[in-house]
Structure 1
Amino acid sequence: MRKEELREQIRENLLSLNTWLRGFFMLLYAVACYVAIIVTGIVMLFQFGVVLLTGKVNDRLLPLGQSLSIYINQILLYLTYNSEEKPFPFNSWPTVMASAQEPVVNLPNEPEPPPKAE
């Protein structure tokens, strides 16, 4: 490419409405991702408190945590140009795949730490 052609290509890219529109949506989704991470943190802390007090998870919170995680993933895919599909509110809210009775994540059991010597 010649120098003039390169300049013209850069000029076209800078004046492209689609690029600036994508940038605007990226900014909005970055804010939405920040809010979703804060809400996920609140759900996480509440769920941890429930487990501390009752010894079991709150089944009603599992779908919310899972859908928030999927939503954050969708936003990050859009922000990093790995997806052209805009997440919620331009598409439907992520659906939860597992029912409340099934575990969302199946992690191996870890051994309990040894008791502290007093």
Structure 2
Amino acid sequence: MDEVAVAIADPVRRRILSMLRDAPLAAGEIANRFAISRPAISRHLRVLRASGLVRDELVGRTRIYRLDPGPLAPLVDWLGGLVVPAGWEQRLDALETEVYRTRRERRARGPAAHRTEHTA
């Protein structure tokens, strides 16, 4: 998870990931979209490959890069644990709790109590 966090900490690498989200791209196509040197882009791609966020494939003499979002999952889960549900999420969580509590109470009272509720 730390390697992924380091990889996405850089704005250039985040932009590369966004570009690859839309479609696989050749290294040259990626480099052409930046005002920095090709060796610098190459270093960014190396960091992204090492983190597992991108995969590359050699097609002839062209290296094609594809996004692999899988390594983001542990980081997303960890970040999600830091966010406190707000608004509707809290209300829906409370509703879910109430529904389960009511079901437990009905089961505890048995089927006869459930029938009398509907006929009353």
What TM-score do you get using the length of structure 2 for normalisation?
0.26
TM-score, with structure 1 as normaliser: 0.26
Which of these two proteins has the greater Rg computed from alpha carbons? 2
**Higher RCO, 1 vs 2 (CA within 8 Å, ≥6 residues apart):** 2
| Bigger helix share | 2
